[in-house]
Amino acid sequence: MARAMLGAIEAGGTKFVLAVGPSPDRILARHTIPTRTPEATLAEAAEWLAGKGGITSLGIGSFGPVELDRTSPKWGFITNTPKPGWADCDIAGYLGQALGVPVGFDTDVNAAALAEYAAAGGAGGGLAYLTIGTGIGGGIVLDGKPVHGAAHPEIGHIYPRRHQDDVDFAGICPAHGDCLEGLASGPAIIARWGVSLSQLPADHPGHAIIADYIAQACHSLFASVAVETIVIGGGVANTPGLTQRVAERARQLDNGYLPGGVRHRIIAPRLGGDAGITGALMLAETAGRA
Amino acid sequence: MARAMLGAIEAGGTKFVLAVGPSPDRILARHTIPTRTPEATLAEAAEWLAGKGGITSLGIGSFGPVELDRTSPKWGFITNTPKPGWADCDIAGYLGQALGVPVGFDTDVNAAALAEYAAAGGAGGGLAYLTIGTGIGGGIVLDGKPVHGAAHPEIGHIYPRRHQDDVDFAGICPAHGDCLEGLASGPAIIARWGVSLSQLPADHPGHAIIADYIAQACHSLFASVAVETIVIGGGVANTPGLTQRVAERARQLDNGYLPGGVRHRIIAPRLGGDAGITGALMLAETAGRA
């Protein structure tokens, strides 16, 4: 078998991160391009990847919603996103054709979850990756495989209980108002307090409020899927102390009840900002296999 | 290979249901015994099963918490239950020894989820089984396999948002107060209104309140694991109209957002009260395999 050269794309609403390497833990070249129209963005991505001298497969971790059902004619599409121009975009099909290689495809957060799962040595009890940024999303890996279900997780849209010091803010989710994303995403924080979480004074109640909402999502995941590890990534998660506050609040919410006990843990990404692109390389590794 | 004869136990806190049959959909004999001390109950169960003339494997779906980690010396144990006498009970080990057969072991709700998954023809997008009764529990099957994680799901202990007409009741969960089980289990309903849900008048607000709490759990499962199907079983779920009210309320909570769309559905058990014992027979079918 010829040596593999993996290509990968972390496709975000603001930028596309591109990379090539012989294995997920060895990135030989990397490039970032701004997200514009699908035509311009995908053409530039294909050109850069083609210029790297012959990738053998491609992995894409994409913003969503996406179609992951292998039996659907729309597999590999970004589906009904509100992002102008991108609805119904056959991102996997276009790039697979343009580069002439098999494509592995999943959500950006499932890709990041895959990479963090591998970085944790294959967390026996499963792993969830939450990103808290412009939006809130999550991916789950159980037994080494991303969880799909009827579509893919959209954990940002559960309804946390309102914090007692945060009862007046209506939330900003167009569909749900005060769901998790409507309350705890970066834009929701700015809508309430005018600045990002990391810019709030250390004694500002916002720190406890946001940690409480994220901790409720973590408790729900521990209680409903029993994942062992939850990794908190994304821009908001870079706020100093946030991960620890979330972990502490989740322990309070559990109150020593769950049978997973101390095995349940909430941590920062081991791969830092590289989780998504590393996971996309992992998707390239298994592309074309059943 | 000799013909299989499967033995099964649905081990509950009030009663043990026992069955034998050549396959999960063919129960040849069935017997119910009251749950007393572990010694008396397990001895009677073993005696009945042994008297059926040579089972080749045993499946147990048990009340919990239980240890499901195959690498743990306590695999197959009921662990720290508050039920007197049953903490740290090696239920799978005792019965496997007594009957001299391999044992398949999981939670009662994972067993029920397995059976409902099979009854649905292998629901492509996964299935969750919720039981709303003396307690509230849930099992999840994805890709044909029960979800374990660091331990097993305890979905009864998520925190739903309080319903606006139910703000004074403190909830009855010893660990969490007003978690889902503390608010919507059979005993919580009786604690509030003095009677069971099915005994409340049709126009009583309790119907909408309980449906709302269960619907929030369903929305959380749809959003976080994206399961296609949620089956609602257990005594409280027998209340006429409840499943439909839950399904309708969950649709309101989603507000057309989730990418799984109309594939997400909430239904009554296809197997009625037989889901648990059928799932235990399925556990027997795969007992001893990796």
Average pLDDT score, chain B: 95
Residues A159, B255: C-beta atoms closer than 8 Å = no
Domain count, chain A: 2
Asked whether residue B221 is domain-assigned, the answer is yes
Q: Which of A142, A158, A261 sits opposite B223 (nearest CB)?
A: A158
φ/ψ (deg, to 5) at A249? -65, -35
What is the least distance, in Å, from the CA of A35 to any CA of chain B? 22
Let me know if residue A115 belongs to a domain.
no
Cβ <8 Å between B150 and A80: no
Q: Measured between beta carbons, which residues in chain B are less than 8 angstroms from residue A223?
A: 153-158
Same domain, yes or no: A185 and A103? no
Return the number of other C-beta atoms located less than 10 Å from residue A290's C-beta. 4
More confident residue, A290 or A97: A97
> A235 in helix, strand or coil?
coil
Residue B130's domain spans which residues? 121-269
Query: Domain for residue A116, yes or no?
Result: no
Q: How far is A254 from chain B (nearest CA, A)?
A: 8
- Do both B20 and B87 map to the same domain? yes
- For an interface test with B, the pick among A80, A224, A228, A264 (most B C-beta atoms closer than 10 Å) comes out as A224
What is the pLDDT at residue B124?
Answer: 81
Contacts with A113 from chain B: Cβ below 8 Å: none
Q: Are residues B264 and B148 in the same domain?
A: yes
Same domain, B153 and B258: yes
The CATH code of the domain that includes A141 is 3.30.420.40
Structural domain includes residue B24: yes
pLDDT at A285 over 90: yes
Peptide bond preceding A24 in cis form (omega within 30 of 0): no
Contact B125 A148 (CB under 8 A): yes
Distance, in angstroms, between B65 CA and closest chain A CA? 6
Kindly provide the residue ranges of all beta strands, DSSP E only, lying in chain B, ordered along the sequence: 6-11, 15-21, 29-34, 57-62, 103-107, 127-132, 136-142, 145-146, 229-233, 265-267
Q: What angle, 0 to 180 degrees and rounded to 10, lies between the N-to-C axes of helices B275-285 and B108-119?
A: 90
> In this predicted model, what pLDDT tens digit does every residue of A159-213 receive, in sequence order?
999 999 999 999 999 999 999 999 999 999 999 999 999 999 999 999 999 999 9
Spatial distance between the Cα atoms of B35 and B40, rounded to a whole number of angstroms: 8
**Do the domain assignments include residue A1?**
no
Q: Do the chains contact at B153 and A224, CB–CB below 8 Å?
A: yes
Q: Which residue of A has its CA nearest to B225?
A: A153
What proportion of chain A, given as a percentage, has pLDDT over 90? 93
Q: Give just the sign of the alpha carbon dihedral A256, A258, A262, A265.
A: negative
The arithmetic mean of pLDDT across residues B78-106, rounded, is: 95
Same domain, B184 and B103: no
- Model confidence over B234-270: pLDDT tens digits? 999 999 999 999 999 999 999 999 999 999 999 999 9
* A131 and A258 housed in the same domain: yes
Residues B172 and B241 in one domain: yes
Between CA A211 and CA B121 the distance in angstroms is 41
Cα three-residue angle B85-B86-B89, rounded to 5 degrees: 120
Q: Residue A20 has what pLDDT?
A: 98
Q: Which residues of A touch B258 (CB under 8 A)?
A: 151, 154, 157
Write the pLDDT tens digit of every residue in A249-284: 999 999 999 999 999 999 999 999 999 999 999 999
Summarised one tens digit per residue, pLDDT across range A148-157 is 999 999 999 9
B151 and B259 share one domain: yes
CA proximity to A98, closest of A151, A144, A55, A147: A55
Interchain contact, B149 vs A79, CB within 8 Å: no
Using the CB atoms, write b or e for B187-220: b if 16+ within 10 Å.
ebbeebbeebbeebeeeeebbebbbbbbbbbbbb
Is a pLDDT exceeding 80 seen at residue A83? yes
B176 contacts on A by Cβ (under 8 Å): 253, 255, 257
A interface mutation test: which of B77, B176, B225, B253 has the most A CBs within 10 A? B225
Which residues pair with residue A9 across a beta bridge? A18, A60
- pTM value is 0.95
Judgement on whether residues A68 and A134 belong to the same structural domain of the protein: no
What average pLDDT does the segment B160-185 reach? Answer: 97
A94 and A126 part of one domain: no
The reply to whether B116 falls in a domain is no
pLDDT band at residue A2, thresholds of 50, 70 and 90? low
User: Do residue A259 and residue B80 have CB atoms under 8 angstroms apart?
Assistant: yes
Helix pair A38-50, A91-99: axis angle to 10 deg: 30
For residue A288, is pLDDT > 90?
no
Cα angle, residue A129 at apex, residues A124 and A134 outer, rounded to 5°: 180
Residue A38 lies in a domain: yes
* Binary contact (A255, B175; C-beta < 8 A): yes
Interface test with A, best of B109, B224, B253 (most A CBs within 10 A): B224
Q: A219 and B149: CB-CB below 8 Å? A: no
Q: What is the pLDDT of residue B3?
A: 81
Distance to chain A for B176, nearest Cα, Å: 7
Whether B250 is covered by a domain: the verdict is yes
Same domain, A62 and A148: no
Q: What is residue A87's predicted lDDT score, i.e. its pLDDT? A: 95
Higher per-residue confidence, A249 vs B54: A249
Cα separation values, A151 from A79, A107, A148, B224, Å? 11, 10, 6, 11
A124 interaction partners in chain B (CB closer than 8 Å): 69, 150
CB spacing of B80 vs A149 below 8 angstroms = no
Task: Tokens for B273, please give them.
Answer: 């009260």
Q: What is the ipTM of this complex?
A: 0.95
pLDDT digits (tens, 9 = 90+) for B10-44: 999 999 999 999 999 999 999 999 999 999 999 99
Specify whether A12 is located in the same domain as A142: no
pLDDT in the model for residue B2? 63
